[in-house]
Structure 1
Amino acid sequence: MRKALVVVTLVSLVAFALQFVFAAVGAFTKPASEGAYALHSVTGMAVIPVLILLTTLFAVLAKAPGRLIGLAILPLGLVVLQALIAMLANASTDTAGASTPFGLAIGGLHALNGIIAVHVVVSVHQAARRLADPTPAGASAVVGEREPA
């Protein structure tokens, strides 16, 4: 199970990297359209949540420390926050439907929250690798475990 945890965290990292690529595809598509962000939306609202749930399940099955399990589920909350931030940013337009400074600032928070989520997933992946490492040094360095006295 521990190796499966490492694999699913690596796949999650790839999915998060692709999220940034898909966001750029949407931003640079000309002419701009709602469909330009389709890959970004599907990945963020379906693929990534499934990977987060699998990561959490594998962490539980691998008997990971509670702190690692909590860290594994944290990106799901950040994904929900992402959707809320995107909705607020999209709703913050003027009467003509154009972006407002407030809406753009909220949109910036969407990017910042995405970066935070990536850092959490990197931490989970690193902890999963340490958990799967059969050496005593790797086993004792797992998130939430104390070094032997």
Structure 2
Amino acid sequence: MRRAFVVASALLLAAFALQFVFAAVGAFTEPAHDGGYALHSVNGLAVIPALTLLAALFAALAKAPGRVIGLTLLPLGFVILQELLVTLVHAFTDDAGGSTPLGLTIGGLHAVNGIIAVHVVVGVLRAARKLAEPVAVA
């Protein structure tokens, strides 16, 4: 189970890396439309939560410390916060549906939250690798 925890954590980190690629795809799609962010949405709302739950399950089955299991579940909180930030961005548009300074600032927090989530997942992967290291027999 420890090796499975490492693999699931590595896949979760890869999904987060792809999330930035998919955001760029959406940002650079011409003409701009909501369909450009489809991969970003599917990955963020389905793949990342599923891999988070899978990694947490393997962490628990590998008898990881409670702190590590909690850290492994933390990306779900980041996903929820991301959706809240997106909702707020859309709430703070002008009457014509255009961006406002407040909406753009909240949108920037969406990116910062994603960066923080990646750092957490790097910590999860490190903890998984450490847990999977062979124990030295004296």
TM bin (shorter chain): over 0.9
Match of residue 117 from structure 2: 117
- Structure 2 matches for 1:3-82, cutoff 5 A? 3-82=3-82
**What's the offset of the Cα at 1:135?**
3.7
Aligned partner of residue 40 in structure 2, secondary structure: helix
Percent pairwise identity: 68
Q: Return the alpha-carbon distance in structure 2 between the equivalents of residues 124 and 7 of structure 1.
A: 11
TM-score (norm: length of structure 1): 0.90
**What's the offset of the Cα at 1:91?**
1.9
**What's the offset of the Cα at 1:80?**
0.4
Q: Return the alpha-carbon distance in structure 1 between the equivalents of residues 51 and 131 of structure 2.
A: 19
**What's the offset of the Cα at 1:87?**
1.0
Q: Return the alpha-carbon distance in structure 1 between the equivalents of residues 7 and 49 of structure 2.
A: 16
**What's the offset of the Cα at 1:75?**
0.7
Unaligned runs of 5+ in 1: 137-149
**What's the offset of the Cα at 1:90?**
1.8
Q: Return the alpha-carbon distance in structure 1 between the equivalents of residues 55 and 79 of structure 2.
A: 15
Query: How many aligned residue pairs are there?
Result: 136
Unaligned runs of 5+ in 2: none
How large is the RMSD of aligned CA atoms in angstroms? 0.7
Q: Return the alpha-carbon distance in structure 1 between the equivalents of residues 91 and 13 of structure 2.
A: 30
- Structure 2 matches for 1:127-142, cutoff 5 A? 127-136=127-136
Structure ranking higher on relative contact order (CA contacts 8 Å, 6+ apart): 2
TM-score (norm: length of structure 2): 0.97
**Amino acid corresponding to residue 49 of structure 1 in structure 2:** P
